[in-house]
Structure 1
Amino acid sequence: MATTFYQVDAFTAQAFAGNPAMVYRLEQWPSDARMQAIAAEHNLSETVFVGPDAELGLRIRWFTPAVEVDLCGHATLAAAQVLSEVYGLPLPLRFASLSGELRVAEDAQGRLQLDFPQQACAPFAVTPELQAALGQTVVEAVAGLNLLVRLESAAAVLACTPDMRAIRGWPQQGVIVTAEGDDCDFVSRYFAPQVGVDEDPVTGSAHCALMPFWQARLNKSQMFACQVSARGGELWCELKGERVLIAGQAVIVARGELLV
C-alpha cells in the first residue's frame, strides 16, 4: 500500500479549523483490519482510503477510530482535495462506495461540491429521557440513520452538553442537534459516541438529513449552513431531487509516511 498520507482540514478555508481527516491513496487494498488499525492510530474522527475500483476506477472507504462507516462528507471532501491538488486528477471525480456512486465536482464559486444521497427521516417521539440526555428543550425530533433534534435557538445548540453515556446506548448512529441560524440558514452539531466520536467538528453527511428537514420548514432548496463546534465549519448546500449537493473548502495542512 502507499505509505504517504495527508492531513486535511475540511469545510474551512483556513488551517486548524473545520474537520481534520487523514487521507491515503492506495495502489492496492490492504485488509480491513489493517485499515481499521491505521484509523485507530491516527485517532481522528475519520481516516479515508481511496483505492482502485473495477467499475468506476476509484473506491472510497471511511474509518473512525472504532468502525467503518457507510458515508462521510468531510473525509470525501478531504480526499478530493488531495486527489486534485497533489495527484492532479481532474474534476469531477467519481467514487464507488458503500452508499453507491458519489461524485465531487467544482461549483460556480470554485468550491468542491459533494453529490450525496438524501437521507429520509420519520417523526420521533420527544420523551423526557431525550430532553434530559440533551439538557435542552426539544422542539421536535425525527429519526433515520441519525436522530435529528431541533432545539429552540442557535444559542441552545451552542450550549448543548449531551449525556454521552445515554446517547451511546441509542440505536441511531449519532445525534444531530439543530436550530435556525442567526447569520446562516441553520446551525448544527453532531454527537456520535456510538462510533467512537463524541463530537464531530463538521459533518457533511449529516446535511443529507438536515437539508430535507429544513427545506420543509424554510421552503428553500439552497442554504448556507454552519456547524458550530469548537473548530467550526461552513457548508453551502442544495437539495436537488433525491440528492444533496454539499460544497465547501479544504486545506492540506500536513504530509507524512506510514513506516510499518
Structure 2
Amino acid sequence: MQIPIYQIDAFTNTLFGGNPAAVMPLERWLPDEVLQAIAAENNLSETAFFVPTHEREDADFHIRWFTPTAEVPLCGHATQAAAWVVFNKYEWPHVKVRFQSKSGLLSVLRRPDDSLELDFPNLAYEPCSTPELIKAAMPEAPDNAFFVPNDTNYMVVLDSENAVGAAAPDLQSLSLLGNQGLIITAKGDQCDFVSRYFAPGVGIDEDPVTGSIHSVLTPYWAQQTGNSSFTARQLSKRGCDLHCELRGDRVAISGHAVFFMEGSVQLP
C-alpha cells in the first residue's frame, strides 16, 4: 500500500521557517497503532491525517493529529498544513475547507494573499496555583497560573518578552506532566504578545509554532487589553508571526505556509 505524504512549513512565508508538519491524506482510517507508528517515524511535532467525510454536509474531511508519542485533541499548524495540501494538491474549487475533529468543526479560509486563516474555538482557561512540577522545572514561574481544560495545557504569564525568550525550563521535570503542556507568554516589545510552548511529555520538547495555543492566548490578551485583534510571535528558534482575532466564541489565526516536499509511504 502506497500513501502520499507531504511536508509543509506552517505559519511562515520562508522555507525552513515556522513549524514543519507532515500531512497524509487517506481514503479510510488505518488502525490507530499504524497512525501512531507513522507519526513516530516522521518524528515531527505533528502528523495530520485526514479522510473524506462523504456522509456529512457540514464538513469536507475528518482530521486527526498525532505527535511522535500521542494523539492530540487540537493542532493549529498541522491543520493549516493539511489545508495547504487540499488547496494546492487537490485542486480544491472552494476558498474554504472544513474539517471535523475531536475539537469540533474547524475551517480554513484561503485569503486573497494566499495566507490561510484558521477558524478555531475560543478555549476557556481557569486560574490555578502553579503546579509544583512547573515550579521545579522553571523556578521563575509565578505562583499563579492558568489551566486550559479543553487542551490539557497550563499557561504562565511572565513579566516581559525578554523573560519568555530567556526561559530554559527543565524538560525532564516538565515531562512528568504527561500529556499536559506548558505555555509561557508575556506582552511583546514589537508585537502585541509573545509565547513559547513546551510539551516533552508527548514528545515535543519545544514546539516551533503552535497555532492551537493561540486559541487561549487570544482571549487571555483580549481580556487584559480590551482589544480583539493582535499580532503575535512565538519565540522559538524557527520563530513565526501570526495574526489573531477574537470573534466571539471563535478565534481566527492566520499566516502563510510553504511547501517543502512530497513523497509516498510504503505500508505492507
Q: Give the superposition deviation at 1:135.
A: 3.9
Partner of 2:3: 3
Partner of 1:222: 229
Decide which of 201, 204, 209 is 1:197's aligned counterpart.
204
Q: Give the superposition deviation at 1:230.
A: 0.5
Query: What are the residue-to-residue correspondences of 1:207-218 with 2, within 5 Å?
Result: 207-218=214-225
Q: Give the superposition deviation at 1:86.
A: 1.4
Q: Give the superposition deviation at 1:130.
A: 3.7
Partner of 1:24: 24
Residue deviations 1:180-208, cap 9 Å, x none? 11111000000001211111100000011
Tell me whether 1:116 sits opposite 2:123 in the alignment. Answer: no
Partner of 2:96: 92
Give the residue type in structure 1 aligned to 2:68.
P
Partner of 2:63: 60
Over the aligned positions, Cα root-mean-square deviation in angstroms equals 1.7
Partner of 2:140: 136
Partner of 1:12: 12
Give the residue type in structure 2 aligned to 1:116.
F
1:139, 1:152 within 8 Å by CA — same for their partners in 2? no
Tell me whether 1:175 sits opposite 2:198 in the alignment. Answer: no
Mark the runs of 5 or more structure 1 residues left unpaired by the alignment. Answer: none
Decide which of 78, 81, 86 is 1:78's aligned counterpart.
81
Sequence identity percentage: 48
Residue deviations 1:75-133, cap 9 Å, x none? 00001111101111122111111111111113465421001111111112247764442
CA distance in 2, matches of 1:238, 1:230: 25
2:122, 2:215 within 8 Å by CA — same for their partners in 1? yes
CA distance in 2, matches of 1:121, 1:39: 29
1:2, 1:24 within 8 Å by CA — same for their partners in 2? no
2:51, 2:63 within 8 Å by CA — same for their partners in 1? yes
Partner of 2:254: 247
Query: What are the residue-to-residue correspondences of 1:148-187 with 2, within 5 Å?
Result: 148-170=155-177, 173-187=180-194
CA distance in 2, matches of 1:35, 1:87: 22
Q: Secondary structure at the match of 1:36?
A: helix
CA distance in 2, matches of 1:193, 1:137: 18
- Scaled by the length of structure 2, the TM-score of the pair is 0.92
Q: Secondary structure at the match of 1:198?
A: coil
1:146, 1:173 within 8 Å by CA — same for their partners in 2? yes
Give the residue type in structure 1 aligned to 2:117.
Q
Partner of 1:69: 72
Structure 1, 20-29 or 121-130: larger mean CA deviation? 121-130
Q: Give the superposition deviation at 1:170.
A: 2.7
2:179, 2:202 within 8 Å by CA — same for their partners in 1? no
Mark the runs of 5 or more structure 2 residues left unpaired by the alignment. Answer: none
- Scaled by the length of structure 1, the TM-score of the pair is 0.94
CA distance in 1, matches of 2:132, 2:195: 22
1:106, 1:112 within 8 Å by CA — same for their partners in 2? yes
Decide which of 239, 262, 267 is 1:232's aligned counterpart.
239
1:141, 1:147 within 8 Å by CA — same for their partners in 2? yes
Cα distance change on mapping 1:98 and 1:30 into 2, 3 Å: same
Give the residue type in structure 1 aligned to 2:246.
L
